Amino acid sequence: MIITTNSAIKKIVLIFLVVAGLYLAKTFLMPLLIGGILATVFLPFCNWLERRGLSRGFASFFAFLLFVLIVAILVSLIGWQISGLIKDVNIIKQKAIEIGLQTQQYIFSNLGISLEKQSKFLQGEQPSLASIMQLTIGSLSSIITFLVLIITYFLFLLYSRRHIKQFFIRLVSPPQQAEMAEILTSATKVSQQYLFGISKMIVCLWFLYGIGFSALGIKNAIFFAILCGLLEIIPYVGNLTGSTLTFLVAALHGASPSTLGGIVIIYGSIQLFQGWVLEPFILGRQVKINPLFTIIALVLGELVWGIPGILLAIPLLAIFKIVGDHIEQLKPYSFLVGELESIEPESSFMKKLKGKFRSFWVE
C-alpha cells in the first residue's frame, strides 16, 4: 500500500498539532499526569488496604501519607548532605574565582582582549533587587500551586480510579471492552514497574557511588552519590552529569590527578556493572524503548514541558507503546519506538560472559 502525499501531510500536521496542544496545555496536563503516574505507583498499596476492610477514602489518604513520608525522608537526607556542602561553598567560590582570573589572563595574553572589556561582557545588565524579589515570589507561588495540584489529582485519581476505568471501557463497543480493560491494566503496570525498578536502581547506585567516592576520599562523597543516583531518572545522561559535577567540584577542591582519574574509573565501572547486571535483573524488559527514541523523547519532553517533561517522557512513551500494540493503526509506530531487533548473531564469547554474570548474580 502506497502512502499518499495527502495522508503523509495530514499525519505530520497532526503531530505538530498534538505537540502544540501539549505545550499550550502544559499548566493543566503536567500536574495531572504526574499525579496520575504517582497514583499508579501507590495503587497496589491502596488495593492491599482495601482488601483488609479499609474504605477507599481512608486507603487513598493512607497512601498519601506514605507518599509524604517518603518525600520527607528523601528531602531530609538531601538537606542533611547539602548543609555539609554549604560549609565548603566559600572554598569552592575562591577556587572558581582563581580559575576565572587565570582564564581571563590567558584570553588577554592570547587574544588581546583587555580585562576591563572581559569584565563588562561578563557583567552585562544587572537586574534590580525588586525584579529579583518579584521573580522569586512568582516562582514560589507557581511551585506551591503545582504541588497542591499534584497532591489533589493524586488523591482523587486514587479514590475514583474504578469509575474512570469504567468510563474508558464504556467508550468502546462491547466486543472491544475486554481488550480496553487489558490495555488499561498493562498501562498501569508498566508505570508501576518502571518507577519501582528505577527506585531500586537509584538505591543500588547510592551504595555503589557512595562506596567508590568515599574510598577515594572525596569531600561530601555521600551527597554526590545521592546526586548521581537520583539523576538516573534521566536515562544515559543523568549519571554522566552527576559524575561530571563530582569531577569538577573535586577539581576545584584541589584533588590530585589520581583522584580525578579514580572518579572517571568509578563512573565507567558502575556503568558497566549497571548495564550488564543491574538493568537486566532490576529493570529487565519492563520499558521496551530503543535508545534513539529514548533520547528523542527526553529532548522533546524538555522542549515542551521542561524538567517535568524529562521525568514524564519515558513512562508516557512506554504507555504509548502499550496502547499502540493493541491498536492496528498505531502498531507501526509502536514497532518503531520499541526495542531494536538484533540482526547480527551474538558472539559466543559475549554469550559466555553474560552467562557467567547471570549465574554469579543468581547464585
Each residue of 45-72: pLDDT tens digit?
A: 888 888 888 888 888 888 889 888 988 8
Q: Which residues contact 283 (CB under 8 A, 6 or more apart)?
A: 194, 197, 198, 201
Query: Is residue 320 domain-resident?
Result: yes
- Whether 166 is covered by a domain: the verdict is no
Same-domain status, 316 and 220: no
Give yes or no: residues 46 and 154 share one domain: yes
Whether residue 37 is found in the same domain as residue 153: yes
Regarding whether 281 and 203 lie in a shared domain, the answer is yes
Query: In total, how many domains does the chain have?
Result: 3
Same domain, 220 and 318: no
Domain that holds residue 310: 287-341
Q: Which residues contact 63 (CB under 8 A, 6 or more apart)?
A: 42, 45, 46, 49, 158
Dump the DSSP string for 44-95. Answer: HHHHHHHHTT--HHHHHHHHHHHHHHHHHHHHHHHHHHHHHHHTTHHHHHHH
Question: In sequence order, what DSSP letters do the residues of 230-286 get, joined into one string?
Answer: HGGGSTTTHHHHHHHHHHHHHHHTT--HHHHHHHHHHHHHHHHHIIIIIIIIIITTS
pLDDT band with cut points at 50, 70 and 90 for residue 212: confident
Same domain, yes or no: 154 and 31:
yes
Percent of the chain residues past pLDDT 90, beyond the cut: 0
Domain C-terminal end among 237, 269, 285:
285
**Where a domain ends, among 111, 137, 159?**
159
pLDDT value at residue 355: 57
Q: What is the mean pLDDT of residues 251-266?
A: 82
Domain match, 275 and 312 both: no
State pLDDT tens for residues 121-146: 555 545 554 554 555 565 667 778 88
Q: Can you read off the three cell numbers belonging to residue 235?
A: 536515562
Residues 198 and 316 in one domain: no
98 occurs within a structural domain: no
Residue at 43 is within a domain:
yes
Q: Are residues 226 and 325 in the same domain?
A: no
Distance CA 361, CA 273 (A): 11
pLDDT averaged over every residue in the chain: 75
Q: Which of 111-125, 147-161, 237-251 has the lowest mean pLDDT?
A: 111-125
Same domain, 71 and 21: yes
Domain C-terminal end among 159, 183, 205: 159
Please tell me the least confidently modeled range out of 110-114, 189-193, 268-272: 110-114
> For 69-109, what is each residue's pLDDT tens digit?
988 887 787 777 666 666 666 666 666 666 666 666 656 56
- Any idea what the Cα angle at residue 76 is, between residues 70 and 81, rounded to 5°? 130
> Does the residue 354 lie in any domain?
no
What pLDDT does 1 receive? 46
For residue 328, being part of any structural domain is answered with: yes
| pTM score of the predicted model | 0.68
Same domain as 308, residue 250:
no
Q: What is the mean pLDDT of residues 2-15?
A: 69
Flag whether 122 is in a domain. no
Going by pLDDT thresholds of 50, 70 and 90, the confidence category of residue 233 is confident
Looking at the fold, whether 72 and 207 belong to one and the same domain comes out as no
Q: Does residue 101 form part of some domain?
A: no
